[in-house]
Amino acid sequence: MSAAAADLEALYASFSNLNMEGGWHRKVPALWPEPRANFVPHIWHYADVRPILDRAGELVDTEFAERRNLTMFNPVEGNIYSTVRTLVAAYQMVKPGEVARAHRHTPNALRLILEGRGTYTVVNGKQVEMRPGDVLLTPNWAWHSHENLGSENCYWMDFLDVPLVHLLEPMFYQPHPDGVEPAPERVESAPIAFRAEDIDRDLAAAAPDPAQGGLMAITLGPVELDSIALDVIALDPGQTGGEVRETSNAIYAVMAGEGAVDIDGQRMAWAFGDTVAVPAWRAHSLSAGPKGAKLLKVSDRPLMKKLGWYRHAGAGEAA
C-alpha cells in the first residue's frame, strides 16, 4: 500500500465511528438525473377483495378492529404499508347496525363509496349519507365516525396521506372521549361531500385535459386537503388517452366501466372498484372498454406544486 493510500485509510478511520461519510467516496449517490423507479405499478381487484371483507365481517368485530379494512401495500421490497410513496389506499366495509367510533388524526383522508345505502359519516358534527359514487373528505384533525343505519353492507375505498406523515413525522392521533360525536347535524351536502350526480354533471360539461392525456376530466374542489388532488376522468367507449408522466404519485380508483392502463410496458386490465398504483414519473396511458369508463385519480400533486417539484410530460413533450 502506498503512503497516500495509507493516509487515506487513516483519514477514513478517523471518522468511521462518528456517523459520518466522506462525500468524495459515497457508495450510493445522493443525487441523480431524474426520479428513480422505486415503488412499482400494481393493481388490486375489487372482485378479489369483496368476499374477503365479507368473511372479515363474520370474524372481525368493529370493537376489535376500530376500522375493518384491507390496506393495499405496494409490493416493492421492504414496504409493508404505503400504496405509493406518499399515499395509502384501503377497502373498508361496515355492516348494518355497526358504528365505527370517532377519532381524529394528522393525516388527511377521503372516501369513494362503492356499494350500500343508509350508512352515514360524521365529520366535525356534520352527518352526511354515504351514497355510491360519492367522494367524501375528512380533512386533517377532523373528528370522524361512520354508522350503518341501513339494511345492507356498505363498501368503500379509503385514501390517506399517512405515508407522507410517517416520512415527515408530525403524527398525532386521538380517539373521541365520548366514542361518537353527540347530536350530529344531518345535512344533504357539505363542503366535504362531492355527490355522484354533481360529478357526472360537471364531467358532461368538461373539456379535454392535456394533463390527463387529453381525456375529459374535472378537478374536484375546492378541496380541504392541502396535500391531495382529486381528479375524475371520463373515457368514451373504446377511447385511449395520451401518455402521461408526472412527478406526482397517483392512485386510480375505477368508479365505473372497464378498461386498462399501459404502464412501463405492462398492460393491466381494470373494472369497477379496482385500484391502480402509479408511482411518480411512470409513463402511463388509460384506455376504456366498449362501455366507457370513469376513474377517480388521487394524487399528491398539490404537495409537489407547493414545493416547486411538479413536472408533467405528455406524449412528445419534454418535462
Q: Give the whole-angstrom CA distance, residue 83 versus residue 39.
A: 8
Spatial separation of the C-alpha atoms in residues 254 and 56, rounded to whole Å: 23
Query: Does residue 7 belong to any structural domain of this protein?
Result: no
Verify that 237 and 100 share a domain, yes or no: no
Does any domain span residue 19?
no
Lookup result for grid cell 355497526: 98
The answer to whether residues 149 and 185 belong to one domain is yes
Is residue 318 pLDDT above 70, yes or no? no
| Judgement on whether residues 84 and 137 belong to the same structural domain of the protein | yes
Rounded to whole angstroms, the Cα distance separating 184 from 126 reads 6
Tens digit of pLDDT for each residue in 225-264? 999 999 999 999 999 999 999 999 999 999 999 999 999 8
CB-based contacts of 200, cutoff 8 Å, min separation 6: 133
Instruction: Kindly give, in sequence order, each residue whose CB lies less than 8 Å from that of residue 216, ignoring residues fewer than 6 positions away.
Output: 203, 206, 207, 208, 209, 233, 234, 235, 236
Is 303 found in the same domain as 202?
Answer: yes
Domain match, 56 and 168 both: yes
Please indicate, yes or no, if residue 15 is contained in any of the structural domains: no
How many separate domains does the chain show? Answer: 2
Higher model confidence: residue 194 or residue 63? Answer: 194
Say whether both 135 and 228 belong to one domain. no
**The pLDDT of residue 62:** 72
The pLDDT of residue 66 is 66
100 has which bridge partners?
146
Residues 204 and 283 in one domain: yes
pLDDT per residue over 39-98, tens digit each? Answer: 999 999 999 999 999 999 999 887 765 678 999 999 999 999 999 999 999 999 999 999
Rounded average pLDDT over 287-306: 98
Of 194, 212, 242, which marks where a domain is finished? 194
Looking at the fold, whether 246 and 174 belong to one and the same domain comes out as: no
- Quote the mean pLDDT of the chain: 93
Residue at 33 is within a domain: no
136 - beta bridge partners? Answer: 111, 193
DSSP 3-state of 202: helix
**pTM, rounded to two decimals:** 0.94
Q: Are residues 56 and 190 in the same domain?
A: yes
Residue 153 in domain: yes
Whether 187 and 205 map to the same domain: the answer is no
Please indicate, yes or no, if residue 35 is contained in any of the structural domains.
Answer: no
Among the candidates 194, 223, 255, a domain finishes at 194
Mean pLDDT of 135-139: 96
Q: Is residue 149 part of a domain?
A: yes
Q: Given this model, what pLDDT does residue 250 score?
A: 99
Q: Which domain holds residue 248?
A: 198-314
CA distance 217 to 162: 26
- Mark which of 194, 219, 250 sits at the end of a domain: 194
Lowest mean pLDDT among 19-23, 49-53, 151-155, 156-160: 19-23
The fraction of the chain above a pLDDT of 90, given in percent, is: 82
Q: Are 50 and 182 part of one and the same domain?
A: yes
Percentage of residues in the chain with pLDDT exceeding 70? 97
Residues 47 and 188 in one domain: yes
> pLDDT value at position 316?
45
Whether the per-residue pLDDT at 191 is higher than 90: the answer is no
CATH number reported for the structural domain that contains residue 100 in this entry: 2.60.120.10
Grid coordinates belonging to 98: 355497526
Residue 135 lies in a domain: yes
